[in-house]
């Protein structure tokens, strides 16, 4: 199916996740997916990262489960990283912004859920690296839907609002 551009697969409840079949299908189809939506209680983070590694070349839209939190592994994959040497200095020359290593270079739309009280640093890094517009560059993402999964703990939402408020205000400002 080399003309396939969109793939949506989900399972319900205890239904088995077709990991090996999906890898085989993606490998054999020779398609360049532009949209991927995967949703299952049975799909592991390691499995998801294998699929993303197979389709990352042309992927424009990625829809991850919004009812469960993205893990640290997944957040690291979807957030570009600045290249650094073992000593911690940036590889680029002085005055030149660090070159980002981007696993999903063409991504325009992303939906995911996250428990920010567990992954606040990862969420802040994601917002900085994927959502803020650098001067003279166009926005990295056109559409981001982040579902904040918060437990019912008094005061938690207020504390998180203070941590994310500055970044999210900047995103809103950049988009105007």
Consecutive 10-residue averages of pLDDT for the chain (176 residues): 90 88 89 92 92 87 93 88 50 46 85 84 82 63 83 58 59 49
Long-range own/partner contacts, residues 81-88 (CB < 8 A, 24 or more apart): 81/129
pLDDT for residue 47: 94
CB 2 within 8 A of CB 29: yes
pLDDT for residue 48: 93
pLDDT for residue 15: 85
Number of Cβ atoms within 10 Å of the Cβ of 98: 14
pLDDT for residue 93: 43
pLDDT for residue 142: 83
SS3 112: strand
Give the integer Cα–Cα distance in Å for 31 and 112.
24
The reported pTM is 0.77
Going by their DSSP bridges, the two strands 109-114 and 61-63 should be labelled as: parallel
pLDDT for residue 53: 87
Among 148, 150, 171, which residue's Cα sits nearest to residue 66? 148
């Amino acid at each position: 199916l080399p003309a396939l551009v969109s793939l949506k697969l989900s399972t319900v409840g205890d239904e088995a996740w077709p990991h090996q079949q999906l890898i085989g299908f993606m490998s054999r189809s020779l398609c360049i997916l532009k949209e991927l939506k995967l949703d299952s209680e049975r799909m592991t983070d390691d499995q998801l990262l294998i699929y993303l590694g197979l389709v990352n070349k042309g992927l424009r839209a990625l829809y991850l489960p919004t009812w469960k939190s993205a893990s640290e592994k997944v957040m690291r994959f979807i957030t570009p990283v600045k290249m650094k040497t073992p000593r911690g200095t940036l590889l680029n020359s002085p005055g030149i912004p660090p070159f980002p290593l981007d696993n999903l270079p063409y991504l325009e739309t992303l939906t995911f859920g996250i428990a920010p009280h567990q992954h606040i640093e990862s969420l802040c890094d994601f917002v900085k690296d994927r959502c803020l517009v650098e001067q003279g560059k166009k926005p990295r993402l056109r559409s981001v839907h982040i579902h904040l999964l918060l437990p019912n703990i008094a005061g938690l939402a207020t504390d998180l609002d203070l941590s994310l408020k500055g970044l999210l205000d900047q995103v809103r400002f950049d988009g105007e």
